[in-house]
Structure 1
């Protein structure tokens, strides 16, 4: 986006970015940084909890029962998601036209959708029998853990690359 000439792009993106909320986010000395910090905190909670569980699915700490670990980490991940979605939306509003054209942002969103779909598939598939696992998770759970870990690392990496593309 060229700040000298104003935003360019589809009308709805321009409307978001030039809205009072978009302007307030860009012009405030404290609001944008606070939103950014809360977004990073949300990501840390979400991805940290998911990564810890994914590692358990991959065999790290097999003596630790997966079911209680899941009950511990799921609320942490949900809290992270509850922070990340609204703050990410606010960050998007502040630079909607530039982000909508940014390949790293678009790839991040695609991986995010795949990561969330992977979680849903796990909870409707292999995760339904988690209480019966004794030690090593079944093969499909291990695959879900490996895919999840790769997707979330990709989300984080692409999120960082947004500033450089």
Structure 2
């Protein structure tokens, strides 16, 4: 608990929790990062699921950099948000589930990106199931992110 209170009392923690603009700015950055990361991930999953047949799967690979940029923005802003309320968030079940789902979503999406990097336009049924699972994981992570404020 001492480490959690130390995070809350740090410059970042105090800026997020105790200033008028700290929390809204950091939360807005978190939303932009989420839109970039999850937006690209969902574009890729939708393409692998068979929509947009005129667009080759291999054309999706360059967008992975945008998704990684969104992830790093979320990592920084999410860490700042955590510092603002560490002693409560650490024990929040919705927060823990969200974090696990985000990392699962990253792994699943990376497996889909490897399809694009291999320059293979053919998509198997197994890869379509992987895309569906990745999509469900990202959507569920967003839902649990919203539930953080309501679960103790």
TM-score with structure 1 setting the length: 0.84
Contact kept in structure 2, 1:13 and 1:96, CA below 8 Å: yes
1:27-58 deviation line (CA, Å, top 9, x unaligned): 11112210100100110111111101100011
Aligned to 1:5: none
Contact kept in structure 2, 1:127 and 1:141, CA below 8 Å: no
2:29 to 35, 38, 50: 38
1:105 to 87, 91, 95: 95
How far apart are 1:156 and its partner, in Å?
0.5
How far apart are 1:25 and its partner, in Å?
1.7
**Matches of 1:76 and 1:68, distance apart in 2:** 14
TM-score with structure 2 setting the length: 0.90
**Matches of 1:163 and 1:60, distance apart in 2:** 35
1:150 to 133, 136, 142: 136
**Matches of 1:127 and 1:139, distance apart in 2:** 16
Which has the higher mean CA deviation after the structures are superposed, 12-21 or 48-57?
12-21
- Two-structure CA RMSD over aligned residues (Å): 1.6
Kindly tell me the number of residue pairs found equivalent between the two proteins. Answer: 151
**Matches of 2:106 and 2:80, distance apart in 1:** 20
Aligned to 1:22: 13
> What 5-or-longer segments of structure 2 have no aligned partner?
none
